[in-house]
Amino acid sequence: MAYNCVVMQNEDPDGHCSRVVDRVSRFRMTGRGVWASVPDHDWNDWRWQLRHRITTLEALETLLKLTPEEREGLVLAGNNLALAITPYFFNLIDRDNPDCPIRRQVIPRVEETVTASWEMIDPCGEDAHMVAPGLVHRYPDRVLFLVTDRCASYCRYCTRSRVVSGAGEQHLHTDFSEAIQYIRKHTEVRDVLLSGGDPLLFSDDRLEHILSQLRAIPHVEFLRIGTRIPVFLPQRVTPELCAMLRKYHPLWMGIHTNHPKEATAEVREACGRLADAGIPLGNQTVLLRGVNDDAAVMKELMHKLLMMRVRPYYIYQCDLVKGTHHLRTSVRKGIEIIEALRGHTTGYAVPQYVIDTPGGGGKVPIGPEYVLAYDKQRVIIRNYEGKVFEYPEVSESRGAPTTPDKAVTEVKHGCARERCDRS
């Protein structure tokens, strides 16, 4: 008999392994909570989940004792970003813990009504790069196609809260014909990212209509879908959806997971169906205060993602969205987390930490400094342990190596001592 398990390397004095962890047990089924009497065919129907979302203060108060800050935030939620939580995702909330990391992501707080001086309505400058209604062309060879303004649940830190949910300051009116015509005309566009809102809220037929038009454009090399549906509503990832998506390869999908509690058995199964359909999966995580601003929490999340066949792709510094200052961490904290991952776990579990620069400058990678000095002869680098090494630089000319500069020689001597110490 084969056992699906991982043996943890903790041995007692007699050399016996003291702990065996079942891989599957890392991914718990969510359970139905107050919906325990709901039949299987309803609970597992994504349309049922959408129809029974918690969308009002009154409904939420029947399920959860709110803090004063949450209650006041809910009273004012309709002025910014609507409330919506699927029953499935609601069951991840710790009802006895006001600081529950799931709770902080989806339940409004009064802090959302306060705007810091540096916060913006459109922090990524998308409106300035909108070349057709709903189509953003910010990078040379790729476009962002905002196909809907609705999501299964609404993240309180949403970058597009100005248009998402219909409660913000603007409304999204995508012109599909004009957007697709623009892509046809611009042969430099090889990559189209469908986002919103969440494209997977569309029916299979409607989503396929968009994908088929894009796939028919010769210079569009591959398609991407950005979605949080596998996390908010894993029931939506049906065999029929996966069968449809696989017809449009190469097609990639980026999901959005922020905390290990979100990596449930249901999400694991949904991601498995997508991966089995040949769809490469990446994950984007937003660094959030009180949610995942801890290296151990972030490492656990990255490990769970890999177990679900999802490659950690980005950790985003929280965008400068209006009313999100209470969820934002320092950039230093993000760098500390990357430092705690790099070299301390598999490289596949180390995403790139980025800031989407305010005003539309694009994503800039941020991380610890590993290059300490360099000139024409050598590069001085450190590793994850803080040890320093020298790597010879290749000259652009074919001449013989020259005498190193004094400043670099001094660092080189330090490197030599480091090598002697290690030997």
Query: Cα–Cα distance between 58 and 54 in angstroms, integer?
Result: 9
Q: Catalogue all structural domains in the chain, each as residue range(s) with its CATH number.
A: 33-113 (no CATH), 127-365 (3.20.20.70), 371-422 (no CATH)
What pLDDT is recorded for position 274? Answer: 98
Q: Which of 155, 271, 318, 415 is the catalytic position?
A: 155
For residue 162, indicate whether it is catalytic. Answer: no
Query: Cα–Cα distance between 90 and 34 in angstroms, integer?
Result: 10
Q: One-letter amino acid identity for 121?
A: I
Residue that is written with structure tokens 């090399």 in the block? 221
For residue 353, indicate whether it is catalytic. Answer: no
Query: Cα–Cα distance between 168 and 118 in angstroms, integer?
Result: 19
Task: Report the run of H or E that residue 7 belongs to, with start and end.
Answer: strand 5-7
**Looking at the DSSP assignment, which residues form a beta bridge with residue 146?**
195
Q: Which of 139, 182, 313, 374 is the catalytic position?
A: 139
For residue 139, indicate whether it is catalytic. Answer: yes
For residue 124, indicate whether it is catalytic. Answer: no
Residue that is written with structure tokens 């306060």 in the block? 114
Q: Which of 304, 356, 412, 415 is the catalytic position?
A: 356
pTM for the full predicted model: 0.88
Q: What angle do helix axes 204-215 and 176-185 make, rounded to 10 degrees? A: 20
Task: Report the run of H or E that residue 219 belongs to, with start and end.
Answer: none
Distance of CA 324 to the CA centre of its chain: 17
For residue 191, indicate whether it is catalytic. Answer: no
Query: Cα–Cα distance between 51 and 154 in angstroms, integer?
Result: 15
For residue 242, indicate whether it is catalytic. Answer: no
Instruction: Return the beta strands (E) in 216-366 as ranges.
Output: 222-226, 251-256, 281-287, 311-317, 352-357, 362-365
For residue 155, indicate whether it is catalytic. Answer: yes
Q: Which of 53, 104, 109, 151 is the catalytic position?
A: 151
Q: Which of 122, 149, 198, 319 is the catalytic position?
A: 319
Strands 191-195 and 142-146: parallel
Q: Which of 138, 228, 268, 378 is the catalytic position?
A: 138
Query: Cα–Cα distance between 179 and 158 in angstroms, integer?
Result: 23
Query: Cα–Cα distance between 193 and 394 in angstroms, integer?
Result: 38
Query: Cα–Cα distance between 260 and 92 in angstroms, integer?
Result: 11
The CA-CA-CA angle for residues 344, 345, 347, to 5°, reads 115
Q: Which of 142, 215, 224, 228 is the catalytic position?
A: 142
Closest by Cα among 86, 114, 113, 90 to 103: 90
b/e per residue 251-285 (b: at least 16 CB within 10 A):
bbbbbbbbbbbbbbebbbebbebbbebebbbbbbb
Q: Which of 71, 184, 363, 382 is the catalytic position?
A: 363
Q: Which of 122, 149, 156, 158 is the catalytic position?
A: 158
Contacts of 209 (CB under 8 A, 6+ apart): none
Query: Cα–Cα distance between 190 and 417 in angstroms, integer?
Result: 50
For residue 405, indicate whether it is catalytic. Answer: no
What pLDDT is recorded for position 58? Answer: 95
Query: What digits encode the pLDDT tens for the residues 228-277?
Result: 999 999 999 999 999 999 999 999 999 999 999 999 999 999 999 999 99
In order of 102, 104, 350, 376, the CA distances from 388 in angstroms are 41, 41, 21, 18
Q: Which of 160, 224, 299, 304 is the catalytic position?
A: 160
Per-residue pLDDT of the chain (423 residues; tens, 9 = 90+): 333 333 334 444 444 444 434 566 678 888 899 999 999 999 999 999 999 999 999 999 999 999 999 999 999 876 789 999 999 999 999 999 999 999 999 999 999 999 999 999 999 999 999 999 999 999 999 999 999 999 999 999 999 999 998 887 789 999 999 999 999 999 999 999 999 999 999 999 999 999 999 999 999 999 999 999 999 999 999 999 999 999 999 999 999 999 999 999 999 999 999 999 999 999 999 999 999 999 999 999 999 999 999 999 999 999 999 999 999 999 999 999 999 999 999 999 999 999 999 988 999 999 999 999 988 899 999 999 999 999 998 876 655 555 555 544 445 444 433 433 333
For residue 363, indicate whether it is catalytic. Answer: yes
Q: What angle do helix axes 295-307 and 331-341 make, rounded to 10 degrees? A: 60
* Cis before 250 (ω within 30): yes
